[in-house]
Amino acid sequence: MRVFTSRRHRRHAIVGLVGFGVGLAALYLAVRTYLPFVFNPEELRLVVQRFGVIAPVVYVAAHTIQVVVMAIPGYAMAVVGGILFGPFFGTVYTMIGVTVGSAVAFLIARTYGRPVVERLIHEDALEKFDEFSQKAGLPGLFLFVLIPVLPEDVISFVAGLSHFRLSVFVAVVFLGRLPAAAVAVLAGDGIAASQFLEAGLWMSSLVFASIGTYYYREEIFEQISAF
């Protein structure tokens, strides 16, 4: 699968990555200087609690936007949710954001069609998903959602071009993304409690699950199709 369509696009991507890295470093220094409590999970949770209901609303909105605009890795957001809200509410708010954001991306693709999606996703990926979804149906969609390494934003946009109904897609996203999201939230909760070994084990399990489900995707698909 081609990642860049031309050398110019590759140069633009490299410049963008360098700019992103510089901006991220500057943001880190600024936050470290003016908002040091951000790097203290206990103080950060106390600050968040002072905002009351506004804090979960902002987090859910940010997670929803993340899915649609593909700016921040979803599981990084889930780790933040675990740090801020703990294991239970972190998982609840994360899944609301993931589900709503996926539904929005799905509806954008369903409403505006393939030309808009082609601007966001390479045509090769679209063609492979078209072929696979026609052959695999609902079990194949669930497999796509279940594999943690595959981003929900891409899945949502391309699924909007398929024959799946929104209600079916939302149910599949919620059930398929829940396990990995919960693990990422637990890792964030471990960081907040300064239990870095536990957090590392949760993150390692997520990484190995991503590799394993992707590597054995054909076998998993056969098992899912048997039901």
pLDDT per residue of the chain (227 residues) written in tens, 0 to 9: 444 455 665 665 566 556 656 765 675 576 567 656 656 667 777 777 778 888 899 889 888 888 887 656 677 788 888 888 889 999 999 999 999 999 998 998 888 887 777 777 766 666 666 666 666 677 778 877 877 766 777 788 888 888 888 999 999 999 989 988 999 899 888 877 778 788 788 888 877 777 776 666 666 666 655 55
Q: Are 117 and 156 in contact (CB under 8 A)?
A: no
Q: What is the dihedral of CA 43, 47, 48, 52, to 10 degrees?
A: 140
Q: Do 100 and 12 fall within a single domain?
A: no
What pLDDT shows up at residue 100?
A: 94
What pLDDT shows up at residue 70?
A: 67
Q: Do 27 and 130 fall within a single domain?
A: no
Separation between Cα atoms, residue 83 and residue 98, nearest integer Å: 17
Separation between Cα atoms, residue 151 and residue 134, nearest integer Å: 20
- Sequence length of the chain is 227
Token pair 């103080």 is at which residue?
43
Q: Do 147 and 197 fall within a single domain?
A: yes
Q: Are 59 and 97 in contact (CB under 8 A)?
A: yes
Q: Do 63 and 155 fall within a single domain?
A: yes
Number of domain units in the chain:
2
Nearest CA to 91 out of 66, 63, 68 is that of 63
Sequence-distant (≥ 6) Cβ neighbours of residue 15 within 8 angstroms: none
Q: Do 188 and 110 fall within a single domain?
A: yes
Q: Do 26 and 79 fall within a single domain?
A: no
Tokens standing for residue 221 = 């698909």
- Residues of the domain holding 47: 40-225
Nearest CA to 95 out of 112, 77, 111, 68 is that of 77
Token pair 């081609």 is at which residue?
2
Q: Do 44 and 24 fall within a single domain?
A: no
Separation between Cα atoms, residue 32 and residue 37, nearest integer Å: 8
| Global pTM value | 0.73
Separation between Cα atoms, residue 6 and residue 200, nearest integer Å: 39
Q: Do 30 and 128 fall within a single domain?
A: no
Q: Do 96 and 114 fall within a single domain?
A: yes
Sequence-distant (≥ 6) Cβ neighbours of residue 58 within 8 angstroms: 51
Separation between Cα atoms, residue 93 and residue 87, nearest integer Å: 10
